[in-house]
A and B are shown apart, each in its own frame.
Chain A
């Protein structure tokens, strides 16, 4: 493969729309149009196209589960695999990401091949997923499981309570 990666071409407005809704997907279309100095219809059209092209893949909600009494455990799992002829890593990645326990799968450069994020209700649940399902896959050579103890920042959002405005209330 050459260096020229083909992607959906973005102009600066598309890029700005994406940056804004990446932080606030609930912003209404009219307000988005006002912020960007565009017509609302134009904004709608661009969003539709970005959705159709699969650039926008979904609208999610950031939830800090640690602030609830719901038990949740997350682990990062480094997976080393044997790539398959003609398939590379895609096939094995697919076998892994189809498990609903797996929330993310990335192909990595470096010491291991796939990084998976696995979510479960208890440590035991996640551990047994790794030992029963993941490490028993034919092409998996080894796994290393790292449990997440605390989330400080996720998707660009700092989880701690935001600081108050520190500025004087009136300044010249």
Chain B
């Protein structure tokens, strides 16, 4: 053996395995329940899915065309860190029109890479180690890990079917401690389809003020409510100064792949969020920002058309669930229903896995959105009427077979 290779071997011996070099904070994060289920589903080739959390519409053509046009004109450079001024102005106008609240487009609005980035930024900009983030569940999968990555302690509030999965002041009060700093308010809700009306929100205000909470209001489904217009908590007296409103283009305008969202809130918070954004991201995609200007200026009719279509499918799905006797509260927002399968005496996971194996229908178990989703399924109705009828037909068969076997 030459001296050289001996040296190399010695160096190799002292090298620790890469697994030990990874951030413990990250390795200790639970893998997403969605991911696990995805892996099972992708092995089943001909499964039909009701598991998608994004619109089935293509982005309206005039919006895509504006993106293409921006490329043709050579708009291929960075924008300012906070995003195109005309886009921030258009967003400020829209929020003023719809919610009656004013944000300064220059200092209180930040364009982000999807609403998801805004969630991460808000938590990182505000958390000091040990601060608590109140997270109502079932809810979107990213709040808890983002809080953990920001060194916060997540405090889970379990939402209940009997409250129609709304956050009640009692539940909020019970979860508050002196370390509570941020309340995540995920309405209209993924996965339950629950909404919070103005009255529901008003009841939370005294608790929020008593514990001096800041609010991360994730309103990405705000354009999709079916009984009454969405109300932002930021529009309630005294709440704008405590709220970072997160919204985006994905759900309202069917623009998920464009990755474009935004955050609006108090200047000091937005300043720090912009700092992180500037170092980590630089700016949101330029093409997407030009397309988004078109969306926000001329897209109202598209939003209305899609909303009408979702609402019809929502009614169809609720009708079919009622026919097969699966209990489900009437959701008034987003594009999900959240029926209970508790009567079958198995976990959501078992139910979803068996449904997939026996009927080749993929539906996400409620537990993917928090432990308290146990006993429920999330059904997305962002599918064609034909697909919905076919998939729910199979679910009905499955349910009937389980009941027959149980007797």
Contact = CB atoms under 8 A, between A and B. Distances in A.
Interface stretch (A28-36, A41-49, A84-92, A93-101): A28-36
B37 interface: yes
Nearest to A30: B319
A169 to B, nearest CB: 5
B52 A170 contact: yes
Interface stretch (B41-49, B127-135, B192-200, B291-299): B41-49
B315 A165 contact: no
A28 B363 CA distance: 27
Interface string B239-278: 0000000000000000000000000000000000000000
Interface in A131-172: 165, 167-172
A36 B47 CA distance: 29
A169 B47 contact: yes
Interface string A69-107: 000000000000000000000000000000000000000
A37 interface: yes
Contacts of B319: 34
Nearest to B53: A171
Given A31-B316, A34-B319, A35-B316, A170 B56 contact: no
Contact of A172 (B41, B47, B53, B312): B53
Interface in B344-367: 362, 364
A172 B141 contact: yes
Nearest to A35: B312
Given A168-B38, A169-B362, A170-B37, A36 B315 contact: yes
Contacts of A31: 316
19 contacts: A16-B308, A35-B315, A35-B385, A165-B56, A167-B54, A169-B41, A169-B42, A169-B47, A169-B49, A169-B52, A170-B42, A170-B51, A170-B362, A170-B364, A171-B34, A171-B52, A171-B54, A172-B53, A172-B142
Given A35-B315, A35-B316, 18 more contacts: A16-B308, A20-B312, A34-B316, A34-B319, A36-B312, A37-B315, A165-B56, A167-B56, A168-B52, A169-B41, A169-B47, A169-B49, A169-B52, A170-B42, A170-B49, A170-B52, A171-B34, A171-B51
Interface of A: 16, 20, 31, 34-37, 165, 167-172
Interface of B: 32, 34, 37-38, 41-42, 47, 49, 51-54, 56, 140-142, 190, 308, 312-313, 315-316, 319, 362, 364, 368, 385
